[in-house]
Amino acid sequence: MISIIIPVHNEYSNLQRLFSVACFLKHEKLLEIIVAVSPDNTDTVQNLDCSRKVKLFHCKNKGRAAQMNEASDIANGNIFVFLHADVVPPSGFIDDILHSLRNGYHAGFFSYKFDKDTWYLRINASFTAKDGFFTGGGDQCLFIKKETFNQLGKFNEEQVLMEDFEFFRRMKKQNVPYTIVKNDLIVSARKYESNSYLRVNLSNLLLVVLFKFGYPGNKLKSLHNKLIRTPYNG
């Protein structure tokens, strides 16, 4: 059975959009969706109009890693799926996850495309179908066996930015078998709409390189906030 975990901070409108088009909500193998709400969330997330499978969980600590870890502690499924609020899964989402795990993988990710169709965003999205330098980012929606997630020590809560890449690095060190499902998620292009394409790409490249060289998480977060303008409170 599957538990989907969504860390949020002021994401009401994106959650409403997600649950209005989420064709997977009625799947018999989906046990629950846990919306892990940050302690300083200010929007009216309690007014969400959604399925009875959706549970609001108010976290004690802020930050994606901390919120996802707290939610995983109460999750009842034996498969965890970590989904961003502004990412819409494709048709066949749950079945793709189950099929991958039945084929011997312990974890996996999805390819994605953006909700704006431009040639340069298509180039970026094309890399998500391949295993490479940027594999493991949170927009690719990590799914993983609960047992494997716990054995790896969950997310590192000191990694306040790029906790997804840090976790993936540990996956690779432990030789966890994983796959990339080539069935595109739909990812928001809002970061590109508030910044130039070149600015986002160069900033992302710099942040990933610094991360791989061991730059501290809090300094990465501070640098990210200086480089990238965001129209939301995430």
Q: What is the pLDDT of residues 87-107, one digit of tens each?
A: 999 999 999 999 999 999 999
In-domain check, residue 85: yes
Between 10-19, 21-30, 46-55, the lowest mean confidence (pLDDT) is in: 46-55
3-state secondary structure of 233: coil
**Percent of the chain with pLDDT strictly greater than 70:** 98
In-domain check, residue 224: no
Within 8 A by CB and 6+ apart from 40, the residues are 9, 62
> CA torsion 146→112→39→215, rounded to 10°?
90
- Least Cα distance to 21 among 50, 1, 48, 43 occurs for 50
In-domain check, residue 86: yes
Q: What is the mean pLDDT of residues 36-57?
A: 86
Return the pLDDT at 231.
Answer: 53
Q: How far, in Å, CA of 119 to CA of 48, rounded?
A: 35
Within 8 A by CB and 6+ apart from 123, the residues are none
Q: How far, in Å, CA of 200 to CA of 191, rounded?
A: 8
Helix H or strand E encompassing 96: helix 93-102
- Least Cα distance to 188 among 132, 138, 135 occurs for 138
Burial of 187 (0-12, 13-18, 19+ CB in 10 A): buried
Strands 87-88 and 178-187: antiparallel
In-domain check, residue 83: yes
Q: How far, in Å, CA of 222 to CA of 217, rounded?
A: 9
Q: Are the C-beta atoms of 5 and 81 separated by less than 8 Å?
A: yes
In-domain check, residue 215: no
User: pLDDT tens-digit profile of 59-83?
Assistant: 999 999 999 999 999 999 999 999 9
- Least Cα distance to 139 among 67, 76, 213, 191 occurs for 191
pTM > 0.75: yes or no: yes
User: pLDDT tens-digit profile of 141-189?
Assistant: 999 999 999 999 999 999 988 899 999 999 999 999 999 999 999 999 9
For residue 34, the enclosing domain spans 2-190
In-domain check, residue 214: no
Look up the CATH number of the domain holding residue 89.
Answer: 3.90.550.10
In-domain check, residue 107: yes
3-state secondary structure of 184: strand
In-domain check, residue 208: no
Token pair 């990590």 is at which residue?
A: 142
Domain count, the chain: 1
Q: How far, in Å, CA of 126 to CA of 114, rounded?
A: 10
